[in-house]
Amino acid sequence: MTSASPISCMWEMPVLYHIHSHKNANSFVTAMEFPAWGVLVGCLLLGWIAVQQIKYLLKKQHLRGPFFILPFLGTALSLVWEPTKYWEKQAFFSQKTGISCNYIFGRFTVFIRDSEISQKVFANVRPDAFQLIGHPFGSKLFGDINLIFMYGDEHKDLRRRLAPLFTIKALATYVTIQERTIRSHIERWLMMASNGSPLTLRVLCRDMNLETSQNVFVGPYLTPEMKEQFTKDYNAFNMGVMALPLDFPGCLYNKAKHAVRRLVAVLTECARQSRIRMNQGEEPECLLDFWTKEILREIEEAEDAGLPAPPHTSEKEVGHHVFDFLFAAQDASTSSLVWAVTLLDSHPKVLEKVRKEQSTLSSPLSLEKIRLMEYTQMVVREVLRFRPPATLVPHVARVNFPITETYTIPKGTIVFPSVFDSSFQGFTDPHSFDPDRFSPERQEDQRYKRNWLVFGAGPHQCLGQRYAVNHLTLFTSLFTSMVEFTRVPTPGQDELVYTPTIAPKDHGFFLLSKRK
């Protein structure tokens, strides 16, 4: 008989007896050995579960959160199936202390409701504190070459070199492209709505935003065929962001990962074409051109000094970083556009004031005219405060970090500062939609600026926030001037859903008609 584990030794005596007593001894031995291995596996499994539970409780300490966790999965299923309720529960757990905890896919997590604690995370993105990750499982999804994951001097240097992409001259160029694209889409929507059927704005805004981003970021370098495939791949990526992180062929997460590779390949080709065009001395027509022009200047200066080309100047790296811009601009902006229309529909006096201001401005719009839209920009800022599109900004703790006097976040924890909950702290009557809070008289944007975290804070504060505000302002201006809109009532229409940014449950279900 082969050697047995300690647990299976109890079976040796009856097995030996049956070997001498029965002709079918071999089959009996096999039958008797299976329960022994079953007991061993069961004990090991129970031991592993107990260890995971103990490790979780040691990290949890006094924080509110689930007491018992499912091994590995934790509360991941409820997060995927009912994300709104999941995060509402986390916010409820953190009401007293400002933080709560949970466990998903083998990772301990901390949710931060308190604005000042969130500020502490944003301000400490560095190797010995926190790292921004953008998505709980984003490193495999986005790839290694990514502005999101950088920190320290490398990150500071790259941000400094990206500044020319958002100068007044560059933003003015983008405004022209944005207006042209937005106007053409709104006209198309009015044609679609001419039969009296309601339309779902989120889908329409998503497509409009993707085309706007394509036109602004890579301009003339995408052919119609490339745009079509680009749209398919971006939608596949977007589905993967919301899916379980199962990296197997056929799974949404796996499809998204491969879609990102194809998107970056297309953007890399665009970077190559831009380099050829800018080398010929032509004027920039898109964000990529402005960056390429700066890159060529840096490379020339390095060559004159006998130095190698600066980092992050290869076409592949540029392609990766342009994808970062695309990701940052796309879903959050789509969410904000839908909320802008939804909130204007439910606040007719605000809508009336916006239209009155717009009636004083003529087409075409420009950066100078956007500056004159004082009330419209107040509305835009309140939309972003009242319904911040990216509600959470995930980071990972690289060390044990004392976040409060009584709690230290363990190394490896995924930390979720809540931009959404911060938006309802400090402000006067925060649950009311009130654009006048941003007026020169009240200046709540200054009084409570540490609570207005829509674009983050610290070293990773959104680089393109002026572009984002301009985009929402332009859309609000054009949509309110061109369209009469009425929301079609549906059950629970104002409930929040994650798409992955937040949107109303009805996704903006409206009747549209041309404004006379």
**CA-based radius of gyration for the chain:** 28
Q: Are 278 and 313 in contact (CB under 8 A)?
A: no
Burial of 205 (0-12, 13-18, 19+ CB in 10 A): buried
Contacts of 489 (CB under 8 A, 6+ apart): none
Tally Cβ neighbours within 10 Å of residue 219: 19
Tally Cβ neighbours within 10 Å of residue 498: 19
Q: Are 148 and 131 in contact (CB under 8 A)?
A: no
Under DSSP, the state recorded for 164 is G
* Phi then psi dihedrals of residue 502, to 5 deg: -80, 145
**Rounded Cα gap, residues 240 and 251, in angstroms:** 8
Q: Are 149 and 133 in contact (CB under 8 A)?
A: yes
How far apart, in Å, do the first and last CA atoms of the chain sit? 93
Parallel, antiparallel or unpaired: strands 496-498 and 107-112: unpaired
**Rounded Cα gap, residues 357 and 477, in angstroms:** 9
Nearest 5°: CA angle at 424, between 420 and 427? 140
Where residue 219 falls (left for φ over 0; alpha for ψ -120 to 50; beta otherwise) is left
CB neighbour burial string for 73-98, b if at least 16 within 10 angstroms, e if fewer: ebbbebbeeebeebbebbbebbeebb
Contacts of 161 (CB under 8 A, 6+ apart): 294, 298, 310, 312
Residue type at 434 in one-letter notation:
D
Q: Is residue 462 a known part of a binding site?
A: yes
String of DSSP letters for 367-397: HHHHHH-HHHHHHHHHHHHHS-SS-B--EEE
15: which 2 tokens? 């097995």
Place of tokens 């939804």: 342
String of DSSP letters for 28-51: HHHHHHHHHHHHHHHHHHHHHHHH
- Whether residue 389 is preceded by a cis peptide bond, meaning omega within 30 degrees of 0, is no
Under DSSP, the state recorded for 104 is E
Contacts of 23 (CB under 8 A, 6+ apart): none
Q: Are 259 and 240 in contact (CB under 8 A)?
A: yes
- Binding site, annotated residues: 462
- Binding site, annotated residues for heme: 462
